[in-house]
Amino acid sequence: MFEVMDVEILARVQFAFTAAFHYIYPPLSIGLGLILVIMEGLWLRTRNSLWHELARFWTRVFALTFALGVASGVVMEFEFGTNWATYSRYVGDIFGSALAAEGIFAFFLESSFLAVLLFGWNKVGPRMHFFSTLMVALGAHFSAVWIIVANSWQQTPAGFHIVGEGLAARAEVTDFWAMVFNPSTVDRLCHTVSGAWLAGAFLVMSVSAWYLLRARHVAFAKAALKVALPVALVAALLQLVTGHHSAVGVARYQPAKLAALEGHYPDGPAGMWLCGWVNDAEETVSGVQIPGLLSWLVRYDANAEITGLDAFAKEDRPPVNLTFQCYHLMVVCGALIVIVSVGGVLLWWWRGRLFDHRGALWVLVFAVALPQIANQTGWFAAEIGRQPWIVYNLLRTSDALSRVVTAQQVLASLLLFALIYSLLFVLFIYLLNRRIQLGPAAREERL
Amino acid sequence: MTEFFTATLGLNLNLVWFVLVGVLFTGYAVLDGFDLGVGVLHLFIRDDGQRRLMLNTIGPVWDGNEVWLVTGGGALFAAFPNVYATVFSGFYLAFMLLLAALIFRAVAIEFRDQQPQGWWRRTWDFAFGLSSLVVALLLGVAIGNIARGIPLVVGDGGEIEYAGGFFNLLNPYALAVGALAVTLFALHGGLYALLKTEGELHEKLRRWILPLFIAVAMSYALMNWLAMPVVSQMENSPLFMVAVAINCGVFICAFIAMLRQRYFIAFLSSCAFIVTLMVLFGLGMFPNLVISPGALPGAPALDMYNAASSQRTLAIMLVITLIGMPLVLTYTVFVYRVFRGKVQLDGHGY
């Protein structure tokens, strides 16, 4: 038993670590992809070389995030089999087809046209280049679709039946479209993609604001802000709507997760904590709460009864405080993102003051961290809140491991990934910073 | 839909997916094979300009080529989840090394040109070359072990698990297949780079091709010599013998084309050689995907029936493939056309 516990904890830490590292890059690729499409589209329409320069510069940043996304993404695909073999046998019939569809529809599209995007500036015409950029962005969005389909099926399984019993049980598809459009897919996809747009837009805003503060590449930076700010505003507002819809879905389909998000123990009307700390042993939360808000948000009635954690056996509850803290950190960042986006756009449109308001520009420089933190903590809340299930109410995480893999092996691979990913992260930050310092003027990007 | 494929068309969906998974991994071997080979040869080139030219021969295509591996892995997961689970968890440490090597290859090619200093470039060049070599070696060793058979046990839920350790994988036969993978990909990459280069680098590569041919022939002979007891039960199959004959034929064809300096023919022959090797591997395994050593009757094995997903999933995936593969082939051809011809250092590559 002790041995099994060790493997489970190590395998979960490894998966969480490799997924969290990976999840820095694809959202940036999706968000920057959209922004590149807009910039190149503007260049095609206006033939103003400023847009061309912007597209060239942000393509170089895109290449860096894409390379790290590819490198850390292959790991994810193999890890289901290496560390979660029992899970792989259980869900192969369902999860596998989504993963294969991702390869065929998303990755091939993305990687083929990426070649033209990066290396084809003088090999194809501007229209063809724009088309390639569009295809890369589309491929990046498609890859989000299929992985969210697979993950959402784990949250709210649908369109399947179970064959076999005990250790030999596995899920098989009965209705493909019910599986794809399971109850949480659409909400979670929209929520994740708008989070990705925010990640891209806030990076562009941060770099541009920094250029303006340093009075470097001023026209270039202003143009970039004019593209990124509207994207951020739309995504931030979309984030509110999709976040709300996701919560309503969680209330209906994953009541234990919803209760854990707000540390809600006995059944009854539930409030929302602005901040707080859960004492899981005594089943209390200390902090500041708005009573009735959760009931009102998910049932449109402040007195509506919400199922509490007490309705679930202890072994069927997620780790409450961790879920709670991740969720609330996401909500706080989400609120700040809305304030920054709306405030930025207002300063720009209403007074036209944004570009020389140093305080606002400094806020934009540091706000780059907000979508990153929100994306990570939101993902953690979704995944930790699903525990102790790997497939909600069907398969426990502790039953999903590879039976032949030992704790020592997982420890060795975990150390390997910790080492490699730390190195890559330091290099990524260093090279990103260097790209920003060099700026758009560095015409000969390949030294 | 399932009925349409199975009853109306009379298709054996398990067989279709046995072949399609093979096609995806063969596509990977042919396409990323030359990328890996260019990486191995890159280790032996000293001049920075020539190294950049080597990288530029594969720069626009290597990433798309690696997707064949990713999609092959996804297809294996979807079509034969038991194989995916058993092999990936069984070969745990080997796969972790493979992942580390794939990571380093992907980032090395992107990082090297970001700084002009010599030490920076040499470090990433070495990482790129070494990781290409390690990927080729590990994939070869993995295929060698699958062909030879691995110790298997039946678990409590009827699942079939790998019963060996990391060092069981390092047997002479599997290592010989690993050596063949490294030398063959180096030759394949060399022929590809010959097509894409000119001048001094082209001449250098030209001098390397004959030794590479000899190295491939030697590791091929070594593998076959070690394999004799393993494959003896297949020698009576005429189909197998025909495939062996074609396999040897295209190798000789590649050799003659090389001597006549017809490098495009030589490269195509080397593609055909890799394809026929994979066909031989598939014929040798059929209908199994994972076997015990010696494939004794009654020993645990995963075949295309007991390892497979439901008929419905196999049918759904076939629809996805029929829609997706023509698109994939279209834009693969498009990209190779855009980047056809010799590579130059023009500030748009590495």
Nearest to B81 among A88, A404, A447 (CB): A88
**Does A18 map to a domain?**
yes
Domain interval for residue A31: 2-438
What's the CA gap between A367 and A225, in Å, rounded?
14
pLDDT digits (tens, 9 = 90+) for A115-167: 999 888 888 888 999 999 999 999 999 999 999 999 999 999 998 899 888 77
In chain A, residues with a C-beta closer than 8 Å to the C-beta of B350 are 446
Residues B135-147: pLDDT tens digits? 999 999 999 999 8
Domain hosting B180: range is 13-338
Which of A138, A404, A432 to substitute to test the interface with B, most B CBs within 10 Å? A404
Nearest to A71 among B88, B103, B156 (CB): B103
CB contact under 8 A, A93 and B310: yes
| Contact state of A101 with B320 under an 8 Å Cβ cutoff | yes
Radius of gyration of chain B, Cα coordinates, nearest whole angstrom: 21
Beta-carbon pairs below 8 A across chains A and B: 251
In a domain, A446, yes or no: no
What does the alpha-carbon distance between residue A290 and residue A284 come to, in Å, rounded to a whole number?
Answer: 16
Q: Does A447 fall in a domain?
A: no
Q: Is residue B238 part of a domain?
A: yes
**DSSP letter, residue B233:** G
What's the rounded Cα separation, in Å, for the pair A65 and B30?
28
Cα–Cα distance, A277 to A296 (Å, whole number): 22
Instruction: Tell me if the bond preceding B211 is cis, omega within 30° of 0.
Output: no
| Closest Cα in chain A to B312 | A173
Q: Which residues of A271-306 are buried (b: 16+ CB within 10 A; e: fewer)?
A: bbbeebebebeeeebeeebeebbbbbbbbeebebeb
* Residue A2 binned pLDDT confidence (cut-offs 50, 70, 90): very low
All residues of chain B having their beta carbon less than 8 Å from the beta carbon of residue A86 are 85, 159
User: What is the DSSP track for A412-442?
Assistant: HHHHHHHHHHHHHHHHHHHHHHHHHHH-TT-
Under a CB-based contact definition with an 8 Å cutoff, are residues A40 and A129 in contact? Answer: yes
ipTM confidence score = 0.89
Among A93, A416, A447, select the one facing B96 at the smallest CB separation: A416
Instruction: Using alpha carbons only, give the angle B171, B70, B1 rounded to the nearest 5 degrees.
Output: 115
Query: How high is the pLDDT of residue A370?
Result: 96
The structure's pTM equals 0.91
B246 to chain A, closest Cα gap in Å:
31
Start-to-end Cα distance in chain B: 48
Looking at beta carbons, which residues of chain A come within 8 Å of B107? 67-68, 71, 424, 427
Residue of A nearest to B331 (CA): A112
CB contact under 8 A, A101 and B313: no
Q: Do B147 and B181 contact (CB within 8 A), yes or no?
A: no
Residue B45, classed as helix, strand or coil, is coil
- Residue of chain B minimizing CA distance to A101: B320
How many residues comprise chain A?
447
**Least CB–CB distance from B348: residue in A91, A122, A435:** A122
Q: What is the pLDDT averaged over residues B305-312?
A: 89
Q: Is A169 a member of any domain?
A: yes
Q: Which secondary structure element, helix H or strand E, spans residue B251, and what is its range?
A: helix B238-259
Number of structural domains in chain A: 1
Helices A49-83 and A218-253 cross at an angle (nearest 10°) of: 30
Per-residue pLDDT of B242-280, as tens digits, reads: 888 898 899 999 999 988 989 999 999 999 999 999 998
Query: Looking at chain A, which residue has its C-alpha nearest residue B56?
Result: A119
Highest mean pLDDT (candidates A367-376, B107-116, B196-205): A367-376
Q: What is the pLDDT of residue A209?
A: 94
Q: Which of B143, B109, B199, B167 is nearest to B26 (CA)?
A: B143
Q: What is the mean pLDDT of residues A363-384?
A: 95
Q: Å from B124 to nearest chain A CA?
A: 12
Phi, psi of B71 (to 5 degrees): -70, -40
Longest dimension (CA), chain A: 68
Q: Which of B290, B342, B348 would best serve as a mutation to test chain A binding (most A beta carbons within 10 A)?
A: B348
Q: Domain for residue B244, yes or no?
A: yes
Residue B73 lies inside a defined structural domain of this protein: yes
Instruction: Out of A73, A83, A108, name the one closest to residue B328 (CB).
Output: A108
Give the three-state DSSP class for B304.
coil
* Contact assessment for residue B248 and residue B110, using Cβ atoms and an 8 Å cutoff: no
Using DSSP, how many helices (H) and how many strands (E) does chain A show? Answer: 15, 6
Q: Give how many domains chain B has, as a whole number.
A: 1
- The shortest CB-CB distance from A123 to any of B79, B332, B338 is to B338
- Whole-angstrom Cα distance, residue A180 to residue A102? 13
Say yes or no for a CB contact (<8 Å) between B157 and A434.
no
